[in-house]
Structure 1
Amino acid sequence: MRRTRGRVVDVDTLEDFDRRLAAGVHSLSGWRLRALDLTARSDALRSVDVAGSLFLGCRLTLADESSVRARGAVVFPELPGIPIDTYRTALYTPADLYGDDDYADSLDARTYAWSKRETSQDAALAKSLHDHTIDVALSNWVAGRRLVGVMGGHAVVRGSREYADGVELGQHLSQRLTVATGGGPGAMEAVNLGGYLANRGADAREQALSTLAAVPGFSPSIAAWADAASAVRCEFPDGGDSLGIPTWHYGHEPPNLFASAVAKYFRNAQREAILLEVCQAGIVFLPGSGGTVQEVFQDACENFYADESSVAPMILVGRAYWTEQYPVWPLLTALAAGRPMEHHVHLVDTVQEAAMLASGGV
């Protein structure tokens, strides 16, 4: 049985529902029942007080639905024509999103197509409800883990030095922390691959890099790009944990297959804020362009107004990159001067230095 904060009780299986009622429960106040087929539980539903309960995507007989509504329950029905489970109770895995079919027929691709096509009120409601359930599932997954975020360019290609650096960084960080990325291709995939290979050595890393280099990017074929990643997963099964937080807002960029847990959102702004929020051990910024620069200053804004106990480290990798190509560092240090964040922003040259700094902050 599982209880969340206060009087909120999540019930996600019929077995849990039956067990709780058999234990003598008389009131469902504060219960959130999700995706349950309750059509054979009429007697049970009528034997308890349902005021203050929430039925999310549950199947009820028409009579039972009318009854629980009349007695104070709130019922959100399953919305038709929607490819995703609006009331899912866990984060996605790569297998959930990709399945066994061609990528064009995968849940990920079908959901992206639906999200671009559907603009109805039902679709907007479904997206909001889905993102809320991902929030809940992510909170559960993060509990007991200490996360460090890594952000960087989506255009980094397999086979490049930058990609190899990302994998090495992910491996080093994962020895003491759980890595989290934006969950997409490029530097994000590299770091999640490092997390996946956390318990393996340099030889495994080099073998994985060699396999992936045959398909440098997801264009022109997402299927070929994903197949190369699947080959690495088959060669090195039982990989380590890491988190990806992608978005269908950028659905043309597929999620990578190396994050063990995927918190995929519809709303990008929500996803960006959540990624910063869950990374209590700070953020490492690899070279990137517009999106990464935005993320640097979004994180800087959070730290600018934080007290000393709430500041999360910021580590920028690449002195020349962040002082010359994109001179973010001078402005960042000017913002930090005299603030609690001043001693928590760092500029380094190598991923090894970044990993030492981030891990030393545990």
Structure 2
Amino acid sequence: MPTPYTPEQAAPDREIETLHEFDRVIAATGSLSGLRIQSVDLSSRTNVLAEADTEGTVFLGCRMPVEAAARAQAGGALVFPPVPHLPFNPYRAALYTPEELFHGLSDGYPQTPDARSYAWFQHTRSDGDVFSSMLRAVHDDSVSDALDELLTGARVVGVMGGHALQRGSEAYSGAARLGRTLARSGLTVATGGGPGAMEAANLGAYAAPFDDGMLSKALALLADAPSFAPSVGDWARAAFAVTDGWPDGGHSVGIPTWFYGHEPPNPFARHIAKYFVNAVREDGLLARSNAGVVFLPGASGTVQEVFDNATPNYYESRGVPTPMVLVGRRHWTDELPAWPLLRALARERPMASRIALVDEVDEVPAALAQLA
């Protein structure tokens, strides 16, 4: 009889995510009992599976012959097989890379996994099929698990801002310089992963290991494709020209969503946690920004993020409030007056000493340090 599931069995050290890890465990113990084996191709390990103890093992999206799966189940395992004909892997063990999401870009953006996943989402999001909604939930939970593994021990600063900010503008250049400064200070830059201000901050983090001239040259190259509209392909190819010209740039995180399908992920975030459910994505991005959040000028989405972050700070539901720095005095007081409301909410609360409004992006690092 299979061993009943207990929470202790799901500890991170029980997760096997590569064939190398699988072989190492087998060599050391000869047993798979109680492990979670996630999205590993076991097609060449049929004999091993036949001999190993699989009591309480969970196989998530692992490729294996039918007879091997049946034998594992007979030994007490749960087997969740790969789902055919999907443009994404719901059981994925790692975050996306830009190259993975934009694979096949030479044949046109609609042929890429990113575009095909959005098309699948559009087709299934309102069809009422519980199987489709289950696949989305499993995928997003797998992405969250991979994101937590990546960011363990990291000091993360979130940079929020609008997708409409165009390459070639001074504001875009300023956001890129900000990302570079934050990354050089040892922080992990995390953004919403899309175009505009988000891309600029990820670009800056990518440029951090290079001399200052690299960013200036990259900005000049990108200016020839200022926006993802009307051609995502031209916009993405310009970004890949930069990463090809300067390989091995700095790492940062992008956390985009297929909910906003018109926003492609930017290729400068070397780790991409892309979600189907926007609410999970929003909360996850802000919750993981443990070193503070910077809000560049933006519209509805950025305003939402300001108060999504303010709420747990107000109630202290995540402990000590995280620093919040709003950039652009006129924008946040006159055009979209989020600052007066934020300041009123913070009055006589611990978060009052953790919020700041600055005029320019160059003031952000000092403001973050003062609020820390």
Q: If the length of structure 1 is used for normalisation, what is the TM-score?
A: 0.92
Asked if the contact 2:354/2:371 (under 8 Å) is kept, the reply is: no
Provide the rounded CA distance (Å) in 2 between the counterparts of 1:343 and 1:359.
12
After TM superposition, list the pairs within 5 Å mapping 1:259-270 onto structure 2.
Answer: 259-270=269-280
Q: Structure 1 residues 258 and 37 mapped into 2: Cα distance closer, same or farther (>3 Å)?
A: closer
Aligned to 2:63: 59
Asked if the contact 1:32/1:56 (under 8 Å) is kept, the reply is: yes
1:85 aligns with 2:89: yes
Question: What is the deviation of 1:309?
Answer: 4.8
After superposition, give the CA deviation of every residue in 1:222-253 in whole Å (9 maximum; x if it has no partner): 11111111222233222111110001111211
Provide the rounded CA distance (Å) in 2 between the counterparts of 1:39 and 1:237.
34
Provide the rounded CA distance (Å) in 2 between the counterparts of 1:321 and 1:217.
22
Q: Structure 1 residues 27 and 86 mapped into 2: Cα distance closer, same or farther (>3 Å)?
A: closer
1:324 aligns with 2:328: no
| Identity rate, percent | 46
Gaps of 5+ in 1: none
Match of 2:172 among 153, 163, 170: 163
Provide the rounded CA distance (Å) in 1 between the counterparts of 2:220 and 2:41.
48
Q: If the length of structure 2 is used for normalisation, what is the TM-score?
A: 0.90
Q: Structure 1 residues 37 and 351 mapped into 2: Cα distance closer, same or farther (>3 Å)?
A: closer
Asked if the contact 1:285/1:315 (under 8 Å) is kept, the reply is: yes
Asked if the contact 1:308/1:340 (under 8 Å) is kept, the reply is: no
After TM superposition, list the pairs within 5 Å mapping 1:1-362 onto structure 2.
Answer: 6=11, 8-26=13-31, 28-29=33-34, 31-39=35-43, 41-100=45-104, 101=106, 102-118=108-124, 119=127, 120-176=129-185, 177-306=187-316, 309-359=319-369
After superposition, give the CA deviation of every residue in 1:122-143 in whole Å (9 maximum; x if it has no partner): 3222211111111111111111
Asked if the contact 1:281/1:361 (under 8 Å) is kept, the reply is: no
Provide the rounded CA distance (Å) in 2 between the counterparts of 1:248 and 1:9.
30
Q: How many residues align?
A: 359
Provide the rounded CA distance (Å) in 2 between the counterparts of 1:274 and 1:64.
37
Asked if the contact 1:4/1:10 (under 8 Å) is kept, the reply is: no
Asked if the contact 1:79/1:126 (under 8 Å) is kept, the reply is: no
Question: What is the deviation of 1:203?
Answer: 2.5
Q: SS at 2:259's partner residue?
A: helix
Asked if the contact 1:9/1:32 (under 8 Å) is kept, the reply is: yes
Q: SS at 2:325's partner residue?
A: strand
Q: Structure 1 residues 249 and 218 mapped into 2: Cα distance closer, same or farther (>3 Å)?
A: same
Question: What is the deviation of 1:170?
Answer: 0.8
Asked if the contact 1:58/1:78 (under 8 Å) is kept, the reply is: yes
Question: What is the deviation of 1:103?
Answer: 1.5
Matching residue's letter, 2:58: L
Question: What is the deviation of 1:4?
Answer: 9.8
Asked if the contact 2:26/2:32 (under 8 Å) is kept, the reply is: no
Gaps of 5+ in 2: 1-7
Matching residue's letter, 1:11: I
